[in-house]
Chains A and B, each alone.
Chain A
Amino acid sequence: MKPLEIIRKKRAEAINRIIAKGYLSSKRVYVGMATCEIAAGSKEVMEVFQDAVKSGLSDVYLSQKGCAGRCNLEPTVEVVEEGRIPLKYGLVTKEKAKEIIERHLKKGEVIKEWLIK
C-alpha cells in the first residue's frame, strides 16, 4: 500500500475512534489547557466539567484544547453544536463553569454576557 493510501485509512480509523468517544454528541465542549490558560485557572474549570460528566451529564463531548490566543480573556471554553455558530465563553471561573453546565448544556440557554465578541 502506498503511504497516501495508508494515511487515508488511518484517517478513517482516527475519525471512527473520535466518534466512538462521543464526538457526535449534540454538544462539544472545549476547555483551554495551555500554560497560559492553566495559569488563569482553567484546570479548575476543566475539573468542573469532568465532574459533571462523571456524575451523569450526557450527550456532551468534553475535550481539552491549546491556546487560541486571546490572552486577557482566559480561561476560555467553547460550546460547539453541529450546524450552529460555535459559542465562545471568556474569563470562565469555576462558578461560571457550573452555570454554563446548568443553563447552557442542560437547558440550551446561551449566557450572552459571558460570550467573547
Chain B
Amino acid sequence: MPKRFNITLCDGPSCMHKNSKEIVAAIEAQLKKHELSDHVGINLSGCLGMCARGPVMIINPGYSIYGDFTEKDIPEIIEQHIKKNKPIARFIIDEDHLYNRFFRVFGDVNFFGKQMRIALRNCGIIDPENIDDYISLRGYEALAKVLTDIAPEKVIGQIKKSGLRGRGGAGFPTGIKWELTAREKSDEKFVICNADEGDPGAFMDRSAIEGDPHTIVEGMAIAGYAIGAQKGIVYIRAEYPLAVKRIKKAIADARKEGFLGQNILGTGFSFDIEVRLGAGAFVCGEETALMLSIEGHRGMPRPRPPFPSVSGLFGRPTLINNVETLANIPVIILDGAQWFSSLGTEKSKGTKVFALAGKIKNTGLVEVPMGTTLRQIIYNIGGGIPGDKQFKAVQTGGPSGGCLSEEYLDTKIDYESLAAAGSIMGSGGMIVIDEDSCMVNIAKFFLEFTQNESCGKCTPCREGTKRMLEILTRITEGKGSQEDIDKLLRLGNMIKKASLCGLGQSAPNPVLSTIKNFRAEYEEHVRDKRCRAGVCRHLLVYEITDKCVGCSACKKACPAEAISGALKQKHLIDVNKCVKCGACFKICKFGAIKKS
C-alpha cells in the first residue's frame, strides 16, 4: 500500500495571490493520474509565516516546506515526493523555526491546520513536566543567545521592532514597557508574570502554563536580563493547582540546569523566580491591585502614575506582563523580530490566542495571526453554529468586551479594528451566541459578574453598576420603560469616564454594545414585553391549546393554582395568577401547552 501523505497548502492572504487555486487543481489532477488520491489528504491553511517565499506548502510526514514553486512544478513534486518518497531539495525551505511546532502532529486536522501557533507552539506535543522535552525543541536557546551576544538595550530594541503588544487586555507595546522599566535606576527591580486570568470562561493562560511552562520561565529570564531585574514573580490563581504545580516544577528544574539562579550559564547574570498564589478576585488581575496583593494588602487598584515601571512592587521599578505576552519572547528572539513583525496588521503584530466557546461546533483554543477575520475563526476553524441555528452575535473580550452582530463578522482581529467595531480584544475570550440567546440577558450576565467583582473603591463603579443591573433586571422582568434604555446609556458612559481602573472603565461595555447592535431586542422587552429568544422567564406567556384532553396533570403541577377546568375538558391558565415557572409545560404529555 502506498504511504499516506498530507499536503497543507497555504491559503493565507499573501499566498492566495500566487494562485493557490490553480495549484490545488494541479495537485488533484496529478494525484488522480498516479491513482494516489485516496492516500493523500489536502488541506488549506492560514498564513504559514513564510510569505516572502510563497506560495508555500507543507508535506507531512516529515514537515517538508516547499516554497517558490508554481503549478508547473507540481507534476515533478507529486512524482518525486509523493510517489517515490524523495523530497526535492531545491524547493525546500530549510528552516528550524520555533513557531508552529505543533503542526507536525496536528497540521492535517482542519481545526489546527488553519491556525498559526507561536505562544502555544509546544502545547500538546511535549511533556510539560520534562525539561528535556523543552530543551530538545531549542528551549532556552533564546536565553543563551541573548546572554551570548545581545546586549540588554538590543534585546529591548528587538522586542520593540517586533511590534509585540501586551496580550493581557490593554495592548500596550511590550518593547516600550521594557524600555521604560530598564531606564529606571534602582538596586532592585521585578519582573511579574500576570497569570491571574479572571475572565469567566477564559483558560488560555492556564492551558499555556500547563502545556509549556518553560517558555514562560524563559520569557521572564530574558525580560529580567533586558531590564536589569534579578527577581521574577509568577502571580497565579490558587484555583489552578495543576498549572501551579507545573510552573513550580519548571522553575525548580530550570534552576537545576543553571537557567535560573546565580551566575546563569556562567555569565554573571542572576535571576530567580518565585510563585505567588492569588485568591481569585477578578480585580487582582489589574496590575496595581495585583502588586498590592503580593505585598500582603487587600488587592485594590490605585491611580497611575506612578506607573509600575517607575514605582511598582515594594516601590521598585516593575515590569508586569501577561503569560501569553511572555510566551512570545523566545520566538521573537530566535525566529526574528523582523519575521514576527511581518505577521498581522499594521498596528497589531504576531498572533492572538482565543478561547472559542458557546454555540460553536469546535470549541477550544485557537491561535491565529492578527488580521484573521471573526468569520474565519467562527466558520473555518470553529465549524460554525451547531444544529442549523442562526448566528446572532459574537462576544469578545469577556466581561470588559462587547457583542458584535452579523454585520461585523468580517472585522479583522486586531486591537484597533475590534475597538472601532465596539468591542475589545481583551485577553481572548470569544463566545458565539445563537438565536436561542437573549441579548439583554447576556448583557445582564456579564454585568452581574463585574458588579460582583467591583472592589468598591470608587462610587461610579460601585453604585453605578448596581443601578445598571437593577434597570436590566427590571427590563428582563417586563417592568422596563423606554427611558430605561437611555438611562442605561447615560449611566454606562458616565461609569466608563469616571472609574479609576479598567474594571469600572469597561464594565458597561457589554450593555452599551448590545444596545448599539441589538437595540430592537431591548425595545421589544420594554414596549411589547416580549423576549424573542424566549429566555426571559417573566415575559413568557403560557397558553393551553385545543390539544388539551383535560387530563388535569397541569392543574396539579401548577404551584400557583392558576389553572382551572373540569376533568376531560379543555383547561385554562389565568395569566394574572401564572408565575411563569413552566411546570405545566414540562408535565403535559400531549404538547397542549404553548409557550410564547
Spell out A's residues near B (CB within 8 Å): 1-4, 6-7, 10-11, 14-15, 17-18, 30, 32, 34-36, 38, 63-72, 76, 78, 80, 82-86, 88, 116-117
Query: What residue of chain B has the Cβ atom nearest to residue A81's Cβ?
Result: B61
Query: What residue of chain A has the Cβ atom nearest to residue B264's Cβ?
Result: A3
B526 within 8 A of A: no
Q: Is the interface of B mostly helix, strand, loop or mixed?
A: mixed
Spell out B's residues near A (CB within 8 Å): 3-6, 41, 60-62, 102, 104-106, 108-112, 120, 122-133, 135-136, 138, 140-141, 143-145, 147-149, 203, 206-207, 210-212, 240, 242-243, 257-258, 264-267, 357, 362-366
Cβ contact within 8 Å between B109 and A116: yes
Cβ contact within 8 Å between A2 and B61: no
* Docked CA distance A30–B126 (Å): 8
* Docked CA distance A82–B111 (Å): 23
Query: What residue of chain A has the Cβ atom nearest to residue B240's Cβ?
Result: A35
Cβ contact within 8 Å between A14 and B106: no
Cβ contact within 8 Å between A18 and B6: no
Cβ contact within 8 Å between A85 and B144: no
Decide yes or no: A17 and B132 within 8 Å by CB, A3-B266, A35-B240 being known contacts: yes
Cβ contact within 8 Å between B123 and A66: yes
CB distance from B324 to the nearest CB of A (A): 13
Q: Which residues of A contact B357 (CB under 8 A)?
A: 71
* Docked CA distance A83–B61 (Å): 6
Q: Which residues of A contact B62 (CB under 8 A)?
A: 83
**Nearest 9 A-B pairs (CB), nearest first?**
A66-B211, A68-B124, A69-B365, A7-B144, A3-B144, A14-B132, A3-B265, A14-B135, A69-B364
From the candidates B148, B211, B212, B257, name the one contacting A3 in the complex (CB within 8 A).
B148
Q: Which residues of B contact A86 (CB under 8 A)?
A: 61, 104-106
Decide yes or no: A34 and B135 within 8 Å by CB, A68-B123, A83-B61, A83-B62 being known contacts: no
Q: Which residues of B contact A116 (CB under 8 A)?
A: 109
Cβ contact within 8 Å between A35 and B3: no
Decide yes or no: A35 and B206 within 8 Å by CB, A11-B138, A85-B5, A88-B106 being known contacts: yes
Most chain B C-beta atoms within 10 Å of own C-beta, residue among A1, A38, A64, A67: A67
Cβ contact within 8 Å between A38 and B124: no
Q: Which residues of B contact A85 (CB under 8 A)?
A: 4-6, 41, 60-61, 108
